[in-house]
Amino acid sequence: MSLAAILNPIDPEHALVFYHSSQKGRYNLAVHQLSVVCKPSFAYRDRNTADGRIKSPLSDLAVSNFLGLVRVFGIANIPNDFTSSNPEAVITQLSPTFNPVDKPSTALVQPGDFSSIGSCGDANEGYVSFIKEIDGNPHLVTYTITNSKSTAENKDVGTAKYSKLAAHIVNGKPWVFFQHKNGSHIHYKNGSDTSCAEGSHFAVTHGASEPSLMFLYYRNTDGNVARVWCKDDKWSSETEVSSHHIDEGSAIAVVAHEDNIHVFFWNDGQIVQEVDDMPSDDDLCTVGVAAEKI
């Protein structure tokens, strides 16, 4: 079940929470503004994306703020050309405008049966990552998007076929988190791992009041939302962050606001919003697992 969230840059007392909705027999992009300061939330709105071209079965969603805009990415069915009657599944920006990240006829932008997407960026450029099978192996494909062009690279980094993705800017560079084919671990590109349930969605953010802390959320083998956090390239042990069970297949979305992190996920078909606290001073003193060996 898709879910993506970001702090509203215009109204930072609310999170923009995106997911797929079904309206009149087609799937659309929905957005719900949920309060992060105990104020009233805004009503759900349906974005009615491009005449219902969103691919079914539904893909993941990814949201990030780069080049001055909040952008939502997913997978849409788009014809290779104006005369084609057989659309391809294409990695596509769904909002604020509907636009594939590359020409729909370009093989690299067509993920096939895979549906995992991650995105991050800053004022200068953005990154959209997804999984695509190339020469029989899942490859991590990343598009770099600027105001003038988009360029792609793909690498075989050992991504598991069942892996989901999350992406985040760390020290000015994109980190892409994925599960490795040799075990149920989360890896970041060229980096570390941690235990989680096979096929888990996950989400990553820095603390708003403590930007030196990075938080990684995922579904553990008990079916609950758990987190680890990183400081000075060292990771904490795992802690569960919710008393609510996460639905199997549910995405996880996180938004950092002041001294809290708001965690969103699906429980019994409803979006749950949990508030997670920053680590205590005692916790900060005990962190000690090297980032290369989570």
Measured distance CA(291)–CA(294) in Å, rounded: 6
Q: Does 84 have pLDDT greater than 50? A: yes
Question: Which pLDDT does position 292 carry in this prediction?
Answer: 42
Measured distance CA(135)–CA(156) in Å, rounded: 10
Torsion (CA) 126, 55, 113, 219 in degrees, nearest 10:
70
The domains found in the chain, sorted by start residue, are 4-293 (2.120.10.70)
Residues contacting residue 131 through CB under 8 Å, at least 6 positions apart: 111, 114, 116, 138, 139, 140, 141, 159, 161, 163, 165, 178
Measured distance CA(227)–CA(275) in Å, rounded: 13
Q: How confident is the model at residue 125 (pLDDT cuts 50, 70, 90)?
A: very high
Measured distance CA(194)–CA(290) in Å, rounded: 11
Question: Which pLDDT does position 77 carry in this prediction?
Answer: 86
Measured distance CA(73)–CA(57) in Å, rounded: 16
Residues 259-282 have a mean pLDDT of 89
Q: How many residues belong to the chain?
A: 294
Residues 55-71 have a mean pLDDT of 90
Highest-pLDDT range among 18-27, 48-57, 113-122, 193-202: 113-122
Question: Which pLDDT does position 109 carry in this prediction?
Answer: 95
Residues β-bridged to residue 167: 176
Q: How confident is the model at residue 50 (pLDDT cuts 50, 70, 90)?
A: low
